[in-house]
Amino acid sequence: MESIESKTSVIIDIFFCVVFMPLLVFLGPSHTWMSQWPIFFSLVCLFLYISYFFLLWINIPVQILRKRWGVIALSLSCMVGCNYLLSLYPLPEMDFVTPVLSRYQTELRDFGVSVTLWLMFSLVLGYTLSVSFIKTLYEQMLMKKRIEAERDKAELAVFKAQISPHFLFNTLNSLYSLVIGTSDKAEDAFIKFTEILKYTYVAIEKETVPIRSEIENIRNYIDLQLIRLNSHTKVEWQCDVDDGLLPVPPMLMVTFVENAFKYGSSTSKDCVISIRLHLRNGRLEFATSNKIMRQADKFRSDVPIGIENCRGRLSVLYPRNHLLEVKEEDGIYSLRMVLGLKRDRIVNQ
């Protein structure tokens, strides 16, 4: 953004020097001064250029915001005083046969030169102040964008910090139940958990990952849960992806999968958890559906926290380019997320 600011300032300055000032000089009566009074003409041009850059350096809008009225008054007084002294520059008298006419024509000419000089000074002053206000407003807008960008990064960090520990805590609980039961599935479970743990700590530091990596993590999580659970819980997992390299936020969809298993699985009653991921032409649709099997009150109080975290991440990363719908009807909880993915987003591999 700093390069944009500097380029914009340079363009505005070049426009003043090579377009505005030449037009101001050559389209007005002052263009005759070049041949008649070259020294005076040079002083006028030099003064106007100095006035422009001096006023830009003073930056009147910033001084107004800081309420430095003395600096503003002194600067403008100096500029007006210099212009007044320049208007008193002794030009050669006009030579007529009649002395009275010579003095009259000389005074009339000096008055016209003075009016032209003040008009040129006023135009330069107005242009400079307009440019200063526009540049200040532009810089304020860029600063606001910087602040919003830093705020978004901070929000993402908070969301990630909230999601990751919760996920690891639940996974460790699953492994603990297997170990104390001396299950022969413990080895497979630890392998899956190791892969999940590695992915979590690698991906959590990245803004985006290839969707194929996120899918592999979801599969590992599903396999790990199925090792823990018995045959009462069935999982319908559908995955259809045409481009595994498209970038997605890490640890986003697994949050929804985790909620589905946490509240939609059972070791004593038959239940089905449906998970569907579809990606075609950059349009990602992810959906889960499960019957609320236990702790319905706790489910209704806990689930919105994770959902709102993910909703916050989506609003930051995909403004106006995402959809997140949740619905609970007849004891069935369903979630649907739609994202517009783009290849030009940076993928950290």
Q: What is the CATH number of the domain that holds 291?
A: 3.30.565.10
Whether 190 and 305 map to the same domain: the answer is yes
Whether 131 and 219 map to the same domain: the answer is no
Residue 307 in this model has a pLDDT that exceeds 80: no
Residue 325 in this model has a pLDDT that exceeds 50: yes
| Average pLDDT taken over every residue of the chain | 79
pLDDT-derived band at 236, boundaries 50, 70, 90:
very high
Task: Kindly state whether residue 155 falls inside one of the protein's structural domains.
Answer: no
Share of the chain above pLDDT 70, in %: 78
Q: β-pairing, 283-291 with 247-248?
A: unpaired
- pTM for this model (two decimals): 0.51
Whether 219 and 115 map to the same domain: the answer is no
Task: Kindly state whether residue 190 falls inside one of the protein's structural domains.
Answer: yes
Task: Kindly state whether residue 163 falls inside one of the protein's structural domains.
Answer: no
Q: What is the mean pLDDT of residues 60-75?
A: 83
Whether 261 and 324 map to the same domain: the answer is yes
User: How much is the pLDDT for 175?
Assistant: 64
User: How much is the pLDDT for 13?
Assistant: 82
Most confidently modeled range among 135-139, 164-168, 190-194, 260-264: 260-264
The set of residues, in sequence order, having a beta carbon less than 8 Å from that of 134 and lying 6+ positions away, is none
pLDDT-derived band at 44, boundaries 50, 70, 90:
confident
Residue with tokens 């003064």: 47
Whether 128 and 234 map to the same domain: the answer is no
Residue 347 in this model has a pLDDT that exceeds 50: no
User: How much is the pLDDT for 283?
Assistant: 92
Domain that holds residue 298: 183-340
User: How much is the pLDDT for 154?
Assistant: 56
pLDDT-derived band at 346, boundaries 50, 70, 90:
very low
What tokens appear for 259 in the block? 């909620």
Task: Kindly state whether residue 313 falls inside one of the protein's structural domains.
Answer: yes
Whether 267 and 318 map to the same domain: the answer is yes
User: How much is the pLDDT for 184?
Assistant: 62
Whether 242 and 318 map to the same domain: the answer is yes
Whether 336 and 282 map to the same domain: the answer is yes
Whether 93 and 200 map to the same domain: the answer is no
Closest CA relative to residue 275, chosen from 231, 214, 189? 214
User: How much is the pLDDT for 348?
Assistant: 43
Whether 190 and 325 map to the same domain: the answer is yes
Q: What is the mean pLDDT of residues 80-89?
A: 88
* pLDDT higher at 191 or 223: 223
Q: What is the mean pLDDT of residues 186-211?
A: 78
Number of domains within the chain: 2
User: How much is the pLDDT for 349?
Assistant: 41
